[in-house]
Structure 1
């Protein structure tokens, strides 16, 4: 069945997802390689992102293109998709201390973009770092695991700590550090 795309609804969805990650338009535009004015136009419903940008947006927000444009879940996902439940309850003291150390070592814009909204929790012999989206979890793993893992090992006093980078969204992005 063919569904018409409502630019205003799609724009509102992009706005809500961006704010859900506590990102500014400038931060999102930097991730996508577009101007902040383009992000503003999408969010106001003036136009829609190009397909290549929609694919990047999907990775940033952990959503399909259909979910971005229509603002609704699309059924029919594969059996390999796993929802990872983020830690619930009190903040993890280890992750709180790790964030303080990380904040001292990287620029404020990078910290706010990649570490704001993250959570951490030790589960047995594994320490899980939870990010708001699959894209953010992958980015933390690729760009910052060499910073995060030694800090966590120092705080926990455990050498060769097993660290996994996971998304709080609908995609399992386990990566070992």
Structure 2
């Protein structure tokens, strides 16, 4: 049985890790800020569709969101993260420039945990989840691509947005 108090603490801690307000998280998930407040107080739990979306946004499994632990032996991001790789200097510089141009909550939500590297003739940006990769592409590619072109000195740079699972391919 799921302990609402434990799930509430997990959701609250996750929101704080992402540096989001209840209103910002609600907007990302398509719910009201009152719903987020009720979850964090343990009054109720998010429905499964919202839990799945929250998992996509955070790179955590439903088990991690509700129980605070992974039943399957580690989150998807822990299993596939390229964290053992040295930081890519191009992406590090691009992130510094991006950080100065968007709000801290947006940066923390969408850009923290991303990696970048040149793969053949494309520059690949890896996000913790497919949802996050698609969000970066849809919302931020007009910002990211010119910055990467400036950092690399390459015009017409091909940029791809992938989830970290593609890192091993």
TM-score by length of 1: 0.70
Give the match for residue 70 of structure 2.
73
Aligned counterparts, 1:12-91, within 5 A: 12-75=9-72, 83-86=80-83
Q: How many residues align?
A: 163
Q: Tell me how far 1:32 sits from its aligned partner.
A: 0.9
1:132 Cα shift? 4.9
1:147 paired residue number: 143
1:93 deviation in Å?
4.9
Shift of 1:83: 0.2
Which structure dedicates a bigger proportion of its chain to helix?
2
Deviation at 1:52, TM superposition (A): 2.1
Distance 1:167 1:16 in 2: 24
Relative to structure 1, the CA distance from residue 164 to residue 118 in structure 2 (aligned partners, 3 Å threshold; closer, same or farther) is farther
Cα-to-partner distance string for 1:58-91 (whole Å, 9 max, x where unaligned): 21122332332222213289xxxx60223766x7
| DSSP 3-state at the match of 2:161 | strand
> Contact (CA 8 Å) 1:134, 1:173: kept in 2 or not?
no
- SS in structure 1 of the partner of residue 125 of structure 2: strand
The CA deviation at 1:152 is 0.3
Q: Residue 136 in 1 paired to residue 138 in 2? A: no
Q: CA RMSD in A?
A: 3.4
List runs of 5+ in structure 1 lacking aligned partners. Answer: none
Superposed CA offset, 1:20-49 (max 9, x none): 222222211110111222212212212101
Deviation of the 1:140 alpha carbon: 0.3
Contact 2:39 2:45 in 1 (8 A): yes
Q: TM-score, normalised by structure 2?
A: 0.72
Point out where structure 2 has 5 or more consecutive residues left out of the alignment: none
Query: Deviation string for 1:73-116 (max 9, x for gaps)?
Result: 13289xxxx60223766x7553354345445655676445433x
